[in-house]
Amino acid sequence: MKSKAIPEGFHSLITDLVVRDVKAAVEFYERAFGAKKRRVFHGSDGSIVHAEIQIGDSILMLSPEFPEHNVFSPQSPGGGASASMFMYVEDVDAVFAKAVSSGATVTMPLADVFWGDRAGGIVDPFGHRWMLATHIKDLSDEELEKAAKAMFTNKS
């Protein structure tokens, strides 16, 4: 069975906030806005490497800082943009190529990634980060957790 380009329950465009403490952010959004936890993935060291919460009919992604990729929260010295756009499209290869030819800078080359998407990162000419993706494989939460731990084994 072919996976849908946009996974079940998601909209085309999703905000991904970068925060220093993902666990604390999830707890705050639960208390403040009635958010419901959808998924939380951990690295091999137990740290949270990705979380998805639902507020109303929308999903908000939360990510930790990744200094090795120059991704910082606004709380860090020199921290830049605290949010990035995550956009599902039908044909990520075509949209990615069009974005680059229109002036975007590649931050992560297109690849089939552990969470079941084909995805790549860009920065638009105005400094905003985007992750473009097509969903290619449905994975259970258990499979995703295992893949996240394997991917982030060496994350410090």
CB 106 within 8 A of CB 120: yes
Q: Rounded CA gap, 74 and 48, in Å?
A: 18
Q: Rounded CA gap, 43 and 106, in Å?
A: 25
Check residue 49 and give its pLDDT: 92
Indicate whether 5 belongs to any domain: no
Indicate whether 6 belongs to any domain: no
Indicate whether 7 belongs to any domain: no
In this structure, what is the dihedral angle of CA atoms 138, 120, 95, 133, given to the nearest 10 degrees? 20
Check residue 73 and give its pLDDT: 82
Whichever domain contains 84, its CATH number is: 3.10.180.10
CB 148 within 8 A of CB 49: yes
Check residue 129 and give its pLDDT: 81
Check residue 156 and give its pLDDT: 46
Query: 32 Cβ partners below 8 Å, 6+ apart?
Result: none
Model confidence, pTM:
0.63
Indicate whether 52 belongs to any domain: yes
In this predicted model, what pLDDT tens digit does every residue of 4-28 receive, in sequence order? 888 888 888 889 988 888 998 999 8
Indicate whether 17 belongs to any domain: yes
Check residue 77 and give its pLDDT: 81
Check residue 80 and give its pLDDT: 64
Domain containing 89: what range? 13-151
Give how many domains the chain has, as a whole number.
1
Please list the ranges in the chain whose pLDDT falls under 50. Answer: 156
Check residue 10 and give its pLDDT: 86
Indicate whether 134 belongs to any domain: yes
Check residue 134 and give its pLDDT: 95
End-to-end CA distance of the chain: 37
Phi, psi of 103, rounded to the nearest 5 degrees: 120, 0
